[in-house]
Structure 1
Amino acid sequence: MEWLCPAACLGLLLPLLLLLLISRLRRCRLPGEPPLDKGLVPWLGHALEFSRDAAKFLSAMKQKHGDIFTIKAAGKFITFLLDPRSYDAVLWESRCKLDFGQYARLLMDRMFDVQLPDYDPNAEKVMLRATLQSKNLPSLTKAMFFNLQTILLSDPSKPSRQWKEGGLFHLAYSTMFRAGYLTLYGNESKNYEDASGQAQDLAHSLEVYNEFYKLDRLLMKAARSMLNAAEKKEFGSTKKNLWKLLSVRSLNHRANRSAWLESYQRHLVDLGVGEDMQTRAMLLQLWSTQSNAGPAVFWLLLFLLKHPLARAAVQGEVEGIFRTRRQTIGQMQMTSQEVLDNTPIFDSVLNETLRLTAAPFISREVLQDMPLRLASGREYILRKGDRLCLFPFISPQMDSEIYEEPEKFKYDRFLNSDGTEKTDFYKEGEKLKYYNMPWGAGINICIGKFYAVNSIKQCVFLLLSHFDLELKDPDAKIPDFDKERYGFGMLQPENDITIRYKLKDQ
């Protein structure tokens, strides 16, 4: 038998590749599959509309096709499921059918140049969960409190009894980011109240924040491979600056390193990751751990400033906490977990804020053709190679069937008439398990939720107890969302809001 020459092999392969390409371009909806909407532009499909305003586009698709449909975007077929009664069928499905790891690895590489061997995000979460919860939570909460005090009360550029003006988003984001960074990555001195250590922590955390903020402006474009030449250059340069600041060698010399940092570094070493890639992974984790809490504090404070009844209710709850602890409002000390767990009014305000402003995608890669049964009893076939995506921002969070006037902020929406937490919400007469999903759900729920909630509460309590805050323009419109942020956690505003603030007269 004679071997085929390379030219003959190429002649046989080209028609096969062409047929494969045509079959992809001509994809049709098969019996049992969700409604298919490919758009009018070859290959691109709905990519431009989707990236321009995902919430608006997907709401229109839901109106057109119902709670489940498949779209084409930049050559990828994505099935969206928007019925919260059916989310369990996705959230708890076996990883051999629906996998998060592939998409996570793609984004890690695109955004942070991180490639980890044998990376398993679920195993990593299991390993790190204990470092942010249970017995480690009190020490994290205590460290965060001291670091928040350093940022808010020890910075000579901030404390003043004279009115100052500044951007609310900048104040919230920089405060939470810098304090959170110091809490997880460590301080200059073991003694939180050492003046020299505080000064160095203030300078170092500000340098990290300023570089990170420049990176943050470009991250969403990087995730979608939409950076132009100038932006790519700036993006690369900023990452290099951050890698120097977060080098493993420099982190190894910091005091008060968290159990989270120690465990994550050991995990990277166990994976056989070298120092350079470890440093890149530290920047990835800096974004993962610090990019959402600051925007959450911004929106919460803005809603309080725009809604006097809500602010009075929260302020009254905070003052009540101080009275029971025999403190004046200006003497706020470390708050216990018991106190932090018993703030129902604040919890309702936070839940309502997150309902309105948290918009992550929950994505899975479909690894094999498989059936998906919905709560309605209908069953659909998912196709191998597609992506399956939940978008809780549309439903349940902004679903008018579940929430009356869902676009409005109502601080007591998550309170019963007796002041307890409200958890009974319904769709089509059925009580919902998933009625608000800012932290995700199922096996991929945010492992840092309890630490994040404690940190947000402490920051807002410190600001309300020590500062007078007011909008420079009481009639200022609540800013629109930066629509690039849909799918990546907390939304950010298109523009900042100017506030006036000063230390309270004690």
Structure 2
Amino acid sequence: MISGAGLLLLLLLLVSLAVLATRFGRWRRPGEPPLDKGVIPWLGHALDFGKDAATFLSNMRKKHGDIFTIQAAGKFVTILLDPHSYDVVLWEPRSKLDFNQYARLLMDRMFDVKLPDYDPNEEKTMLRMTLQNQNLSSLTKAMSFNLWNILLSDPSRTSLHWKEDGLFHLCYSTMLRAGYLTLYGNEGKDYEDVSGQAKDRANSLEIYNEFYKLDQLLMKAARSILSAGEKKTFDSIKRDLWKLLSVKRLDCRANRSVWLDSYKQHLVDLGVDEEMQTKAMLLQLWSTQSNAGPAVFWLLFFLLKHPSAMAAVEGEVQTIFGSRKQTIGQVHGISQEKLDNTPIFNSVLNETLRLTAAPFISREVLQDMLLTLPDCREYHLRKGDRLCLFPYVSPQMDPEIYEEPEKFKYNRFLNADCTEKTDFYKGGRKLKYYTMPWGAGINVCIGKFHAVNSIKLCVFLLLRYFDLELKHPDTKIPGFDKERYGFGMLQPETDIVVRYKLKDQ
């Protein structure tokens, strides 16, 4: 016979189970995508998803098809992997599918940034022209000067003797330092002043060293899984960077970009105080500079591993630069027309990004809605869920679209007449989105043209003025740091040692 105390405990247990079932016991309703909650209550598939999103979602796709809903840490996320259907999501009204909530969440978790009435789409519209058209020419010229300073004015690099370095460190540091100087300004106005160049190298190196330490913890911060010790270190690094990027310090810099001044005015218009403006400047340093360096790393590594691709790109570099004996002014006067006229390099870049760019495109579902796909399939989505596209799995690594998708083929995006190849198919239908490293729709990267110019300039300068080779020619392609799936360019698990020296002039 159960005692009164035993009955009370049993009743409390039943109530607790009922509450858990109500809170976490979700079931698939008619018309909804296949639901896979995993075996662990609430947590669901969070561990597998975070450990290796590409492999996990590829396996889920084989199990459920190209649309399904998973549970991950209490959140229900619908994954859509049919590139023919991406437009339905990309252009759905913001009253139904919205990016703002997720963007604000990450801004706060990673950078302590809270902006009143923040609208990322409005911000992009306001800043787009500061990175394009007439302003693009000024940015390209500034980037060229700053790359020259980092690569070719630094005595530690301009040696005729072989020097060893990690290729990732070389590329990431060079691109972030030059990119920071281009957008955030220089110590002095005269690019060719030797004293100013030295100050710029010192300042940008300090920024990079602190930023790189922060970058090692950012993915954990985004997922709220920092240990107590890591959180203390993370906060300390951010404070150091806030001092270096304070708006008072930035206001004193010369050659500030139109982008920087426009962004600061945007923050002022939002009513943001000086402290939060400084925090936003660190957010933007990551947003604008965290992907170009890894892109240059992968591109150069693929070229070093594929001599035929390297020879083809070096042929284009030769046509752009001509004689090796050029003045600094001639190098910085490379026209946009010349930068655009690089079909082989463009294919190499597209192939590199196809293999290594892996952003999520996420939307919060703001109301119960019906998602109608182009093939007339219809799925009900629930308010409060998240809808996510992962172009890395499809189209970029889809064997139906790309033959041997895991392999680097430098001419994959070239037609026989050396024009850009844009015809790719799935299910017998031509794809609008056959690779999506820059996003698409209203969330397409507004800095794409500046980023492409910057990547080209860095690679062209390295190939034109340096002998560069792998220390160990049989080095295998490094694995990916899998925790970076969903956040842009992937980074290697380990760096690759290269040897380089200034070419004989």
Q: TM-score range by the shorter chain?
A: over 0.9
- Asked if 1:35 corresponds to 2:31, the answer is no
1:328 is matched with 324
Give the 3-state SS of the residue equivalent to 1:236 in structure 2: helix
Give the 3-state SS of the residue equivalent to 2:402 in structure 1: coil
Give the 3-state SS of the residue equivalent to 2:68 in structure 1: strand
The answer on whether the counterparts of 1:329 and 1:466 sit within 8 Å (CA) in structure 2 is: no
CA distance in 1 between partners of 2:318 and 2:215 (Å) = 36
Cα deviation code 1:457-497 (max 9, x no counterpart): 00000000000000000001110000010000000000000
Aligned-residue offset at 1:329: 6.8
Alignment of 1:189-208 (within 5 A): 189-208=188-207
2:392 is matched with 393
Alignment of 1:237-316 (within 5 A): 237-316=236-315
Aligned-residue offset at 1:19: 6.2
CA distance in 1 between partners of 2:17 and 2:374 (Å) = 40
2:10 is matched with none
Give the 3-state SS of the residue equivalent to 2:331 in structure 1: coil
RMSD: 1.3
CA distance in 1 between partners of 2:432 and 2:82 (Å) = 12
Alignment of 1:162-241 (within 5 A): 162-241=161-240
Alignment of 1:45-194 (within 5 A): 45-194=44-193
The answer on whether the counterparts of 1:330 and 1:466 sit within 8 Å (CA) in structure 2 is: no
CA distance in 1 between partners of 2:17 and 2:494 (Å) = 48
Aligned-residue offset at 1:416: 0.1
Aligned-residue offset at 1:456: 0.2
CA distance in 2 between partners of 1:141 and 1:17 (Å) = 62
CA distance in 1 between partners of 2:78 and 2:465 (Å) = 49
CA distance in 2 between partners of 1:156 and 1:227 (Å) = 39
Q: Which runs of 4+ in 1 moved over 6 A?
A: 15-20
Give the 3-state SS of the residue equivalent to 1:87 in structure 2: helix
2:459 is matched with 460
Are the structure 2 counterparts of residues 503 and 90 from structure 1 closer, same or farther at C-alpha, using a change threshold of 3 Å?
Answer: same
2:419 is matched with 420
Give the 3-state SS of the residue equivalent to 1:438 in structure 2: coil
Are the structure 2 counterparts of residues 112 and 460 from structure 1 closer, same or farther at C-alpha, using a change threshold of 3 Å?
Answer: same
Aligned-residue offset at 1:62: 0.2
Give the 3-state SS of the residue equivalent to 1:136 in structure 2: helix
CA distance in 2 between partners of 1:37 and 1:78 (Å) = 10
Aligned-residue offset at 1:321: 2.2
- Percent identity, please: 76
Give the 3-state SS of the residue equivalent to 2:117 in structure 1: coil
The answer on whether the counterparts of 1:322 and 1:329 sit within 8 Å (CA) in structure 2 is: no
CA distance in 1 between partners of 2:243 and 2:109 (Å) = 20
**How many equivalent pairs are there?**
489
CA distance in 1 between partners of 2:485 and 2:16 (Å) = 36
Unpaired runs of at least 5, structure 2 = 1-13
Aligned-residue offset at 1:305: 0.2
CA distance in 1 between partners of 2:85 and 2:273 (Å) = 42
Aligned-residue offset at 1:376: 2.3
CA distance in 1 between partners of 2:156 and 2:288 (Å) = 26
Are the structure 2 counterparts of residues 329 and 294 from structure 1 closer, same or farther at C-alpha, using a change threshold of 3 Å?
Answer: farther
CA distance in 2 between partners of 1:240 and 1:412 (Å) = 46
Aligned-residue offset at 1:290: 0.3
CA distance in 2 between partners of 1:296 and 1:226 (Å) = 27
The answer on whether the counterparts of 2:321 and 2:331 sit within 8 Å (CA) in structure 1 is: no
The answer on whether the counterparts of 1:47 and 1:74 sit within 8 Å (CA) in structure 2 is: yes
Aligned-residue offset at 1:373: 1.4
Unpaired runs of at least 5, structure 1 = 1-14
CA distance in 1 between partners of 2:157 and 2:239 (Å) = 30
2:8 is matched with none
Q: Which amino acid aligns with 2:265?
A: R
CA distance in 2 between partners of 1:401 and 1:141 (Å) = 38
2:3 is matched with none
When normalised by structure 1's length, the TM-score is 0.95
- Asked if 1:437 corresponds to 2:474, the answer is no
Are the structure 2 counterparts of residues 394 and 329 from structure 1 closer, same or farther at C-alpha, using a change threshold of 3 Å?
Answer: farther
